[in-house]
Structure 1
Amino acid sequence: MKRRTLLAGAALAAPASLLLGSPAKAATWSIAATEQVSNKVLMWDKDVAFSDANVQWSWTPGAGGWYNLSDVRFRNTASFGEVALVAASGGNVGIVDKTTEQHQELNDLLWTGSPGGNPHAVERIPDIGAIVTASSSDGLLAGGYLCVYGPTAISNPSTLARVQTIAFKGAHGVLWDPSLGHLWAVGDKVLRAYNVTGTYRNTRLVSAGKSVALSGLGHDLQPDYSSPGHLFVTDTYGAYRVDTATLTKTTVSTEGSLKAWSRHSSGEDVSVRADGTGSRTWGSPTVRFSVGADRTRTGAEFYKARIYTTAFE
């Protein structure tokens, strides 16, 4: 049975900022996914087969600390234009200089960090150029943590260095909230907000005193692009839509093993649910859509699927 969102009402038109095409092609948008068998970030138009021939863009990091890619998202920068932020369970995170080249590789990295501890997510704080990562297990600290990297020159990512490590049990996701000026982080049984203070190497995260309780291990953390001021979080027991102003959450799915969940501006939900089989039981060969057709790539193990946009919300 095809899944449907719980929100009623007419679908919203997708703004041009979320689309690869012009507003006249509002039905067309793209998905970027971390595929762990080939160990690539792969992007497709959501309405075509997820085949090699249809790949719009890819990034291949090679081996070492880059195995099992776990996160990708896209952001705009003043100095380099669009970049891709990537994280890998092997221990590394990085900033990719996303160019017009269709297939990019390790040599396109502007910066690499090694927070270790099974990195699951990476985010960039705009204007100050800081990077925040989420590691889910033992590494620099036991049990999971956030790392803050600050630059000496905002225009030069190669100057980024680790300036803060915060204990955060089971840390799995981070997301910048431009409306409230918060960095949201999700981990074991909690979604928590931080304020960002200072600049350059003095950048620090400080608790904003806001949190939302979860029943299980928090996993994915992504925007609701159909409604600014809301985000989606998944945990062991389902997916939830959170109002960031009131800190209330609404259940949108009671499925377990949800590794990714977000909503396009049209109101269509995108998700990945681990199927418990294959070479990586925590992944799936299928990216699911609540309105359009699901897309399966035989032999693949998708972990995260992201709506292609540089917008934060």
Structure 2
Amino acid sequence: MERRTLLRGLALGAAAAPATALLGAEPAMAATSYYVATTEQVKNKVFVWHKNKSFSDANVHWSFGPGGGGWANLSDVKVRSTSAQGWIALMVASGGKAGIVDIGSKKNTGLGDLKWSASPGGNPHAIERIPGNGSVVVASSAGHLTLYAPSSVGNLGSLAKVQTISLAGAHGVLWDPTYSLLWAIGKGVIKGYAVEGSHRGTRLKHYGAQVSIGSDNLGHDLQPDYSNKYRMLATATHGVYEINTAGGTFSARKISSETRVKAYVRHSSGEAVSIRADNTGARTWGSPTVRFSSSADRKRSGAEFYKVRLWTPDFQ
């Protein structure tokens, strides 16, 4: 990484975490007790469950069900916190849509609860929000990042498209508050983008920060390691990787050669949570099982889980 990239990232500063909303106030990050958010593509819903309870309808903590069409095959969910709305949920679907729901105290949500939506197209696979700035970035696997910026940071509905950036195989995006960089994973590479400007003048700029994972290796998922703020976790065609960022020297280390891992995150306790495609059925890229490295796996009969995240607004 070039020195100017690190200095640029540090100059921007990390954003403070705003207060949470009612549903988000439950303990999401206790060592043995936390919630996970999943995208399930048969019922096509985002489901949130406690990890220690069965993944049944009766145990659903929160859900978002958008139907089909442009919302078919939900591909990502992240929960973030804002000063104006408290906790919000960001979602994208391979059908072409992206959107944001103000979580508040409502348990079951749908299209009528969207505060913002857009059509970035190109098989959207991941979404992220830039704290403080209020902009939203969508990664589409057809090969681009789409930046939406607000006219008013506190108004979700004011987001509008302001920039498109080419990134072959774009599959994942994650904000890094330590270096104030927006990381994106694509084919063979993870790139860090600085955020410049504000409101509709916001732009992403790549100064050189990047990590190679091999030119024939299609990146898939990018998530935090909540046990170490100087690590991110990535999945790709050839395995699972730790991305080390300590000291601003960015590097990748393969920690598993297991293939078809669609999502991988590590809780602050050290427990890993993941989904591995079972390569069967109509959705070969999904699985009915969410795996936990230190406790019982959770299986939902007939389900096709694609992504799993920890139910927390924390970036690290």
TM-score, normalised by the number of residues in structure 1:
0.90
Match of 1:288 among 280, 285, 291: 291
CA distance in 2, matches of 1:59, 1:194: 30
Alignment map for 1:6-85 (pairs within 5 Å): 20-21=26-27, 26-85=31-90
| Partner Cα distance (2:120, 2:252) in 1 | 31
Cα deviation for residue 26 of structure 1 reads 4.0
Partner of 1:231: 232
Identity over the aligned pairs, expressed in percent?
Answer: 53
C-alpha distance in structure 1 between counterparts of 2:275 and 2:28, whole Å: 27
The one-letter code of the counterpart of 2:230 is: G
Indicate how the Cα distance of structure 1 residues 22 and 240 shifts in structure 2: closer, same or farther if over 3 A, else same.
Answer: closer
Corresponding residue of 2:126 = 121
Q: After the TM superposition, which residues 268-287 of structure 1 pair with which residues of structure 2 at under 5 Å, given as runs?
A: 268-287=271-290
State the shift of 1:125 in Å. Answer: 0.4
2:75 alignment partner AA:
S
Q: Secondary structure at the match of 1:53?
A: helix
Corresponding residue number in structure 1 for 2:15 = none
Q: Which digits, 9 at most, give the CA deviation of each residue in 1:254-306, with x for residues without a partner?
A: 11111000100000001101110122100100001111111111100000001
Q: Which residue of 2 aligns with 1:177?
A: 176
Q: Which runs of 5+ in 1 are unaligned?
A: 1-16, 138-143
Give yes or no for contact 2:278–2:285 (8 Å, CA) kept in 1.
yes
Q: Contact 2:263–2:307 (CA<8 Å) still a contact in 1?
A: yes
Q: Structure 1 residues 208 and 19, CA, compared in 2 at 3 Å: closer, same or farther? A: farther
Q: SS of the counterpart of 1:158?
A: helix
Divergent runs of 4+, >4 A: none
What's 1:93 paired with? 98
Deviation at 1:20, TM superposition (A): 2.9
Measure the CA separation in 2 of the matches of 1:26 and 1:248.
28
What residue identity is the alignment partner of 1:73? K
In structure 1, the residue matched to 2:13 is none
* Shift in Å, 1:22: 8.8
Matched AA of 1:287? V
The answer for unaligned runs of 5 or more in structure 2 is: 1-19
Say which SS state the counterpart of residue 52 (structure 2) adopts: coil
Using the alignment, how far apart are the partners of 1:88 and 1:59 within structure 2? 12
- Supply the distance in 2 between the matched residues of 1:135 and 1:159 (Cα, whole angstroms): 22
Question: Of residues 136, 140, 144 in structure 2, which corresponds to 1:135?
Answer: 140
Residues 33-53 of structure 1 deviation map (CA, whole Å, 9 limit, x = unaligned): 000000000011111111111
Distance of aligned partners of 1:43 and 1:240 in 2 relative to their CA distance in 1, 3 Å threshold: same
SS in 1 for 2:188: strand
Cα deviation, 1:130-189, whole Å, max 9, x if unaligned, reads: 00110001xxxxxx1000011111111111111000110000000001110100000001
Tell me how far apart the structure 1 counterparts of residues 236 and 294 of structure 2 sit (CA, whole Å).
23
Determine the C-alpha separation between the residues in 2 that align with 1:256 and 1:26: 28
Q: Tell me by how many angstroms 1:208 deviates.
A: 2.7
1:179-194 to structure 2, matched below 5 A, reads: 179-194=178-193
1:204 Cα deviation after fit: 0.5
> Within 5 Å, which residues of 2 pair with 1:214-229?
214-215=213-214, 216-229=217-230
**Contact 1:184 1:193 (C-alpha < 8 Å) held by counterparts:** yes
Report what 1:6 is aligned to.
none
Return the letter of the residue paired with 2:306.
Y
Between Structure 1 and Structure 2, the one with more helix by share is: 2
User: How far 1:21 sits from its partner (Å)?
Assistant: 3.0
TM-score, reference length from structure 2: 0.89
Query: 1:19 touches 1:29 (CA, 8 Å); kept in 2?
Result: no
CA displacement at 1:250 relative to structure 2: 1.9
Q: CA RMSD in A?
A: 1.5
> Conserved in 2, the CA contact under 8 Å of 1:19 and 1:30?
no
For 1:20, the aligned partner's letter is E
